Amino acid sequence: MRELERIRGMIIYLLSFIVLVFSACNRQAKLSEPYVVMLSMDGFRWDYTDKFPTPNFDKIAGMGIKAKSLQPGFPTKTFPNHYAIATGLYPDHNGIVMNNFYAPDLDAYYSISDRDAVENPAFYKGEPIWVTAEKQGITSASCFWVGSEAPVMGIQPSYWKKYNQKLPFTQRIDTVIYWLKLPLNKRPRLITWYFHEPDGKGHKLGPDNPKLGKTIVYLDSLLGVFMKKVEKLPNSGEINIIVTSDHGMCETSSTRWVNLSDYLDKDWFKVIEGGNPNYNFFAKADAYETINEALKKVPHVHTWKREKVPERLHYGTSPREGDFVLVADSGYVVSWKDTPPPFTGGAHGYDNRNTDMHAIFYAYGPAFKKNYIQPTFENVDIYPLICKILHLNPAKTDGNLVNVEGMLKVNP
């Protein structure tokens, strides 16, 4: 009898011990609520960190992961790719098919300099990562990420800002740190933010110009300032930092110039959208065949009937791309006789197979492995990666977690 009671006592003791351990684990799981803070430095080519001294990027590579490069979607322009990163959808599927385009479905024009268009949710397709987060109870914030200024699916980040290029980078850093210091019930756990350099200087100087080094070194030092500020936060151990970009940059030259007016007559077109080195053409009905034949004669470019764009470019299914798609060969500039050729030092928009168009992806934090080199991957894979880190149910996208989960710790 006594023996039986002793065994019963032991079982009760064991059971209470197990319950205690389980509830402690649960509390632990609740306490560890991951953060993702993703910065884009516009036009930061994948190899700038090899060409110029960047100790803070190098530090991230040691503390976390560095991708060999990040492949942008086509066209390799700013808006299509920032929104591809946000939604996990190629530009062909995310609605933002170019920096400026005509949307026949809305009978409306989109342009990055048109505030009404940029803030109009009708142009944006898919589910941006901050919408996924907000829908699933995670507060988000954005300082200038493309798409965050429009209530896509009726939802915007809890905190967002109207685009103001004049806001100094240091103030953008302080804004993000301010958000990360908000009381727990107000604090965003997903932050997307944006620097418009080194794109501007890359266009002006060209990616091969040693003078570009000044900008890269400055951006690297700003990254260092930001990392130090994050390190001082009480919950820095929960914060995952991503630094990425939308595309690279290709050296141009006045000796590589095609004047489209020598081959095409603007009167043949209903709408011409895009800009060097990409064009989307909407043909007037009676000019379709004339245009088709004329485009074949334009040198140093690739042109396709929209439906014939090669599959690997994941482009050509959206009516917003017009009847014909044109992209200059890498390093070539295209313009019209009434618009001066943009003989700047650099351009982007070219075929995403050209590694000059490739971008960066660096990351560190509790979710990421240390000192890990990730092979080149597509930017549509960033959406499922962030969903995984934040324990979010992802929307259906063109991205695939399988391509990127090698960067993550198995049990963070």
- From the list 192-200, 280-288, 297-305, 362-370, the region that binds ligand AMP by CB under 6 A is 192-200
Write out the catalytic residue numbers: 78
Please report which helix (H) or strand (E) contains residue 272, including its range: strand 269-275
CA 90, 92, 97, 103 torsion: positive or negative? negative
The yes or no reply on residue 78 touching ligand AMP (CB under 6 A) is: yes
CA distance 292 to 271: 15
Contact 187, 158 (CB under 8 A): no
Q: In which residue are the tokens 């804004």 written? A: 175
Question: What is the smallest separation between the CB atom of 332 and ligand AMP, expressed in angstroms?
Answer: 17
- Give φ, ψ of 4 to 5 degrees: -60, -45
Residue nearest to Zn ion (CB): 78
The residue (of 114 and 262) whose beta carbon lies closer to ligand AMP is 114
- 65-67 and 361-364 strand pairing: antiparallel
- From the list 131-139, 196-204, 295-303, 331-339, the region that binds ligand AMP by CB under 6 A is 196-204
Question: What is the smallest separation between the CB atom of 138 and Zn ion, expressed in angstroms?
Answer: 27
Cα 387 to Cα 139, 189, 395, 401, distances in angstroms: 14, 12, 9, 9
The residue (of 102 and 194) whose beta carbon lies closer to Zn ion is 194
One of 28, 165, 254, 393 touching ligand AMP (CB under 6 A): 165
Both tokens assigned to 196 = 């418009």
The residue (of 144 and 368) whose beta carbon lies closer to ligand AMP is 144
One of 92, 134, 199, 351 touching ligand AMP (CB under 6 A): 199
- From the list 169-177, 195-203, 308-316, 328-336, the region that binds ligand AMP by CB under 6 A is 195-203
105-164 residues in contact with ligand AMP (CB under 6 A) are: 112, 118, 144, 146, 163
DSSP per-residue codes, 327-339:
EEPTT-EEE-TTS
CA distance 314 to 89: 10
- 361-364 and 278-283 strand pairing: unpaired
Both tokens assigned to 223 = 């990254």
Question: What is the smallest separation between the CB atom of 220 and Zn ion, expressed in angstroms?
Answer: 18
The candidate with the shortest Cα–Cα distance to 366, out of 340, 389, 343, is 389
The yes or no reply on residue 193 touching ligand AMP (CB under 6 A) is: no
- From the list 90-98, 194-202, 208-216, 315-323, the region that binds ligand AMP by CB under 6 A is 194-202
**3-state per-residue secondary structure call for 300-333:** CEEEEEHHHCCHHHCCCCCHHHCCEEEEECCCCE
The residue (of 121 and 412) whose beta carbon lies closer to ligand AMP is 121
CA distance 344 to 274: 17
Contact 373, 65 (CB under 8 A): yes
How many residues belong to the site for ligand AMP (CB under 6 A)? 13
The yes or no reply on residue 241 touching ligand AMP (CB under 6 A) is: no
Question: What is the smallest separation between the CB atom of 119 and Zn ion, expressed in angstroms?
Answer: 19
- Judged by beta carbon distances under 5 to 8 A according to partner kind, the member of Zn ion, ligand AMP, none in contact with residue 165 is ligand AMP
Binding site for Zn ion (CB under 5 A): 42-43, 78, 199, 246
CA distance 146 to 192: 10
34-73 residues in contact with ligand AMP (CB under 6 A) are: 42
Question: What is the smallest separation between the CB atom of 353 and Zn ion, expressed in angstroms?
Answer: 18
- Give φ, ψ of 372 to 5 degrees: -115, 130
Question: What is the smallest separation between the CB atom of 41 and ligand AMP, expressed in angstroms?
Answer: 11
Where on the chain is the footprint of ligand AMP (CB under 6 A)? 42, 77-78, 99, 112, 118, 144, 146, 163, 165, 196, 199-200
